[in-house]
Amino acid sequence: MILLSFIGTGDYKLTSYTWQNQQYETEYVIEAIAHFFNAQEIKVFTTKEAIKIHGNHLRDKIDNKFDLSYIDIPSGTDEDDIWKLFDKVVESVPENSEIIFDITHAFRSIPVIVLLASAFLEKARNVKIKGVYYGQYDPENNRASIFDLTPAIKLLDWLTATDTFINTGSSQKLGQLLADIQNDFFKSGRAKTEKIIPKKLISFGSTIASISENIEFIRPVELLESAYKLEKYSGEEIREEVGIFAKPFELIIDKIEQDYAQFALENQDKADPKLIIKKHYLLIKWYVEKGLGTQAILLAREWLVTTLAILENDNYLDKEARKNIENQLNAMSGNNPERIKFYEQEITKHIEDVKQLDDTWSQLGRNRNNIAHCQMNSEQFSSKVLQRYTQELPQILADLFPQLNLTSVWFKNTR
């Protein structure tokens, strides 16, 4: 465990520091925190001026107990000094290490920069931030209590998880953070002393993570079921728990429920089949909006078969029914030189422009194969071409079936 700390030019007096039921008397909070949390190594960020005043005295006091080193930092605040400080942190924190912070004597914006740099290392080099602490001095009693500010650093995790959801639709990180809060609460023993305990955070987190997984792996059948289950864990009770135990999640919970509710469908076997068409179409739109072109193209190909099967009153999940639809589409596709002879088939009665169906199926097939086979064929499409095609895809599909009025589809609580 590495303790990262700061020291200034102040006159530090002998003080009794307390943490929980422990006490430690010293002039330097650095020594007390290192003792309370069993640090093996201490790295002190400081200026040349502060080292002249405290460097030798602090080393004499604790060098026989801990591995102590000083890291000279710039005293300025311009952009160049910020990046110099960033480099100092990067150089001082080894990969895969565990660190704690003492910010009691930090000054100006330096602790913010060091914390953010360490948070960056947490992602880039698997560094674990185990705690952030502050010694609050009581001059009347010459005592100082150590306060745990670690929950504040979790805001960075919430920021990352929220950013991931907004940009990609994935809520797995948010779900894990909710589960961690409830698990940590019970592991700490607080359930024995607190009147209010979290009961639904794990279930809610698991539900949104399941929805996210179904979206990521293109599981539209499971998605409609998991999205419907989300309603079970919504309401005032989950919001009360979030407000008490997961405050940052309050800002995103409404958007998660709104975004995922559009996919919810109860009893798919009994639902209007055309509603299933529209729900799957919404997922294609979701993929396009989130920049997930691969998923959009893969699902669009299957959606076209699903839609025609449902319009034919077939079981859209039946393998033979799907194969029959695909055979008809392939017969009239661009790969068949005699395709026009097959423009009058059972499935074409649902289409106003059969040539458009031919073109759509042919292009979908080529793009889908190019993606699925990782460009390992003679027909090459650049990623930019695929991206442009993906952006047009929802409108292309909607134009095939104007009777379904797909361009205006947006559901929040359709059952």
Q: What is the DSSP string of 30-59?
A: HHHHHHHTT-SEEEEEE-HHHIIIIIHHHH
Q: Pick from 38-42, 216-220, 365-369, 406-410 the range whose average pLDDT is largest.
A: 216-220
- Domain 2-150 in CATH 3.40.50.10640: yes
- Rounded alpha-carbon distances, angstroms, from residue 343 to 322, 332, 353: 18, 6, 10
Which distant-in-sequence residues (6+ apart) come within 8 Å of 129 by Cβ? 99, 100, 101, 118, 119, 122, 150, 153
Give the total residue count for the chain.
415
Q: Which pLDDT band holds residue 105 (cuts at 50, 70, 90)?
A: confident
Task: Give the per-residue pLDDT at 142.
Answer: 81
Task: Give the per-residue pLDDT at 262.
Answer: 93
Span 302-352, pLDDT tens digits: 999 999 999 999 999 999 999 999 999 998 887 677 777 778 888 999 999
Q: Pick from 91-100, 111-120, 278-287, 381-390 the range whose average pLDDT is largest.
A: 278-287
Span 154-208, pLDDT tens digits: 888 888 899 999 998 899 999 999 999 999 888 877 778 888 888 899 999 999 9
Residue with the bigger pLDDT between 407 and 213: it is: 213
Closest of 145, 148, 126 to residue 135, by C-alpha: 145
Task: Give the per-residue pLDDT at 97.
Answer: 87
Q: What is the mean pLDDT of residues 285-299?
A: 95
Task: Give the per-residue pLDDT at 360.
Answer: 94
Task: Give the per-residue pLDDT at 155.
Answer: 84
Q: Which pLDDT band holds residue 411 (cuts at 50, 70, 90)?
A: very low
Q: What is the mean pLDDT of residues 141-146?
A: 85
Q: What is d(CA 86, CA 75) in angstroms, rounded to the nearest whole number?
A: 13
Q: What is d(CA 309, CA 397) in angstroms, rounded to the nearest whole number?
A: 15
User: Is 158:165 a contact under the CB 8 Å cutoff?
Assistant: no
Task: Give the per-residue pLDDT at 286.
Answer: 95
Residue with the bigger pLDDT between 280 and 101: it is: 280
Q: What is the mean pLDDT of residues 120-134?
A: 84
Q: Which pLDDT band holds residue 379 (cuts at 50, 70, 90)?
A: confident
Q: Pick from 190-199, 244-253, 401-410 the range whose average pLDDT is largest.
A: 244-253
DSSP 8-class letter at 298: H
The proportion of the chain whose per-residue pLDDT surpasses 70, expressed as a percent, equals 96
Task: Give the per-residue pLDDT at 342.
Answer: 78
Parse the chain into domains and list their residue ranges.
2-150, 169-269, 272-414
Task: Give the per-residue pLDDT at 78.
Answer: 66
CB atoms within 10 A of CB 153: 17
Closest of 136, 190, 140, 100 to residue 18, by C-alpha: 136
pTM for the full predicted model: 0.79
User: Is 181:191 a contact under the CB 8 Å cutoff?
Assistant: no
User: Is 209:172 a contact under the CB 8 Å cutoff?
Assistant: yes
Mean pLDDT of the chain: 87
Residue with the bigger pLDDT between 339 and 404: it is: 404
Residue 410 has pLDDT above 60, yes or no: no
Span 53-89, pLDDT tens digits: 888 888 888 877 888 889 888 765 666 777 887 888 8
Q: What is the mean pLDDT of residues 137-163?
A: 84
Determine whether 279 is exposed, middle or buried from the number of CB atoms within 10 Å of its CB (0-12, 13-18, 19+). Answer: buried
* Amino acid identity for residue 267 in this structure: N
DSSP 8-class letter at 379: S
